[in-house]
Amino acid sequence: MDKSIVQLVDELPADNITVKVLKAIDYLMPGQWTNLVGFENSIRTITGETDTQIIQKIRDRAVVLYHDPQYGYQSAIQLYQTIDTADVAIATAALANKVGEKISFLSILSSITPKAEVSQTFDLVLKIAVEIIAFCKLNGIPQPNPQEFVKALNNNYQDAALMRMVALVCLDGMLPLGPNFLSKIHQTITQADTRILTQNPLFSSLSNFIPGGTSSDKLGFITQGFDSVQGWINNLVTKTGITPQSIFNALGNCIQIADDNLDFVAAFIDQSTNYYQHTGIQTVARKLILHAQESVKSELPTATLPIHSNPVSSSVSSVSTQYKVGQTVEVWDEEDEDWYESTIQKVKENEYYIHYVGYGSSDDEWVDEDDVRVRDHSTTDDNGYGVGQKVKVWDDDEEEWYSAIIEKSEGHQYYVHYIGYDSSYSEWVDSDDIS
Task: Read off the pLDDT of residues 290-334 as tens digits, 9 standing for 90 and up.
Answer: 999 988 887 765 433 333 334 433 333 334 446 788 788 899 988
* Residue 261: per-residue pLDDT: 57
- Using CA atoms, how far residue 37 sits from 56, 352, 363, in Å, is 17, 38, 48
15-64: pLDDT as tens digits? 888 888 899 899 898 888 889 999 999 999 998 888 888 899 899 999 98
Q: Is 243 in a helix, a strand, or coil? A: coil
Q: Which residue has the higher pLDDT, 53 or 233?
A: 233
249-306: pLDDT as tens digits? 888 776 665 555 555 565 666 667 789 999 999 999 999 999 999 888 877 654 333 3
Q: Which residue has the higher pLDDT, 225 or 263?
A: 225
Q: Is 9 in a helix, a strand, or coil? A: helix
- How much of the chain is in helix, strand and coil states, percent to nearest 5? 55, 15, 35
C-alpha 338/C-alpha 332 separation (Å) is 6
Q: Is 352 in a helix, a strand, or coil? A: strand
Helices (H), 26-116: 39-47, 52-66, 73-85, 92-95
Question: Given a cut of 80, is residue 106 above it in pLDDT?
Answer: no
pTM over 0.75: no
Question: Given a cut of 50, is residue 422 above it in pLDDT?
Answer: yes
* Residue 374: per-residue pLDDT: 83
Distance separating the N- and C-terminal Cα atoms of the chain: 19
* Residue 267: per-residue pLDDT: 60
Percentage of residues of the chain with pLDDT beyond 70? 83
Whole-number average pLDDT of the chain: 81
Amino acid letter for position 31: G
* Residue 303: per-residue pLDDT: 38
Q: How far is CA 126 from the centre of its chain?
A: 18
349-394: pLDDT as tens digits? 778 888 888 788 788 899 988 898 887 766 778 888 888 888 999 8
Helix (H) or strand (E) holding 311: none
Q: Contact 24/253 with Cβ under 8 angstroms? A: yes
- What letter does residue 305 receive in the DSSP assignment? P
145-179: pLDDT as tens digits? 999 999 999 888 889 999 999 999 998 899 888 89
Average confidence (pLDDT) over 205-232: 93
Question: Given a cut of 50, is residue 99 above it in pLDDT?
Answer: no
Q: Contact 134/83 with Cβ under 8 angstroms? A: no
Average confidence (pLDDT) over 90-111: 41
